[in-house]
Structure 1
Amino acid sequence: MVGTARVRDDARPVMTTAQRRIYEKTGNPPQTNALDDIDDPFAVPTLSMVTPKKPAKYRNTKCEHNGIKFDSQRERSHWFHLIQQQAAGLISDLRLQVSFVLTERKQRDDGTWERASKYVADFTYMRDGKLVVEDVKSEATRKNRAYIQKRKQMLDKHGITVKEIK
């Protein structure tokens, strides 16, 4: 004690409750000064340095089931529905993420190449001897100009109407 002030011997500053809880969970000590580890390229970023993850454009939640990755939970639940239909014998040859070429790769007059344009369908299957192409779409993605253009090209080039699942 010096006068009425209490002097601590610790060289290490005291952690706040939040810092202590983070330390207990992760085992990483809190950064005491923002300028301490600035030159260290191997420094682990603290929570204040990590930027929060940006949400998906259409607010979908990517998910996985048995190693199969789906762009949304609605797409995954429709996959389960189609598997049940295939097991019941209503559909056959069920496939995921099938790619259709809409325009071929072509060379321009100046010698550079123009990329091929493709449409990737969520699901394809055979029903009554006919190929069915399905795509799970929300209201917002159904109005996407690029999707609409590719849907029209599928009808024009392949004669296939894309069935939209809401």
Structure 2
Amino acid sequence: MKIDEYKKLSRGACNKYGAKRVGKHASKKEHYRSATLQMMQRAGIIANLREQVKYELIPAQYGECGKDFKGRTTRVLLERACSYIADFVYIDCSTGQTIVEDTKGMRTKEYIIKRKLMLSVHGIRIKEV
């Protein structure tokens, strides 16, 4: 194996679906969508653009473990919280609605479950781009 081949291998693991990171975004598609939304915000079409907004779908679950040396009940983490991180959240100025947007290349089973939980728990429908 030549030196160039080793350099290619050491650049980090590739995304499972072939997406390459661009700046702080997970893919080129997400990067371009971010630029488009920023232009829309400057034009006054949308407002309050936020990126990578976290929504808790299922809270962390704890169980009692007994008492500590001071007699206080100790809790142990049984299950971590389940959350969904939206790519973009903004307000559409024409309707006043808050839009939660996700840039999708591949719709995974995990994403579909989280999308359904977002609708059930928060009453928010995710806009897929």
TM over 0.5: yes
2:21 equivalent to 1:62: yes
2:47 equivalent to 1:47: no
Q: Rg bigger for which structure?
A: 1
More RCO (CA 8 Å, sep 6+) = 2
Count residues with an aligned counterpart.
113
Kindly state the Cα deviation for residue 125 of structure 1 after the two structures are TM-superposed.
0.1
* Aligned match of 2:38: 83
Instruction: Give, in whole Å, the separation in 1 of the partners of 2:96 and 2:64.
Output: 43
Kindly state the Cα deviation for residue 106 of structure 1 after the two structures are TM-superposed.
1.6
Q: TM-score, normalised by structure 1?
A: 0.62
2:105 equivalent to 1:150: no
Kindly state the Cα deviation for residue 88 of structure 1 after the two structures are TM-superposed.
1.1
2:35 equivalent to 1:94: no
* Aligned match of 2:82: 117
* Aligned match of 1:161: 125
| Change beyond 3 A, Cα 1:109–1:80 | same
> SS in structure 2 opposite 1:63?
coil
| Change beyond 3 A, Cα 1:49–1:163 | closer
Gaps (5+ residues) in structure 2? 66-74
Q: Which residue identity is paired with 2:26?
A: D
Gaps (5+ residues) in structure 1? 1-45
> SS in structure 1 opposite 2:52?
strand
- List per-residue Cα deviations over 1:71-129 (Å, max 9, x = no partner): 00100000111011111111100000000000111213665311111100000001122
> SS in structure 1 opposite 2:48?
strand
Greater strand fraction, Structure 1 or Structure 2? 2
Structure 1 segments, 4+ long, off by >6 Å, are none
Sequence identity of aligned pairs in percent? 36
CA RMSD of aligned residues (A): 2.0
> SS in structure 2 opposite 1:81?
helix
Kindly state the Cα deviation for residue 56 of structure 1 after the two structures are TM-superposed.
1.6
Instruction: Give, in whole Å, the separation in 2 of the partners of 1:134 and 1:49.
Output: 38
Match of 1:132 among 99, 108, 111: 99
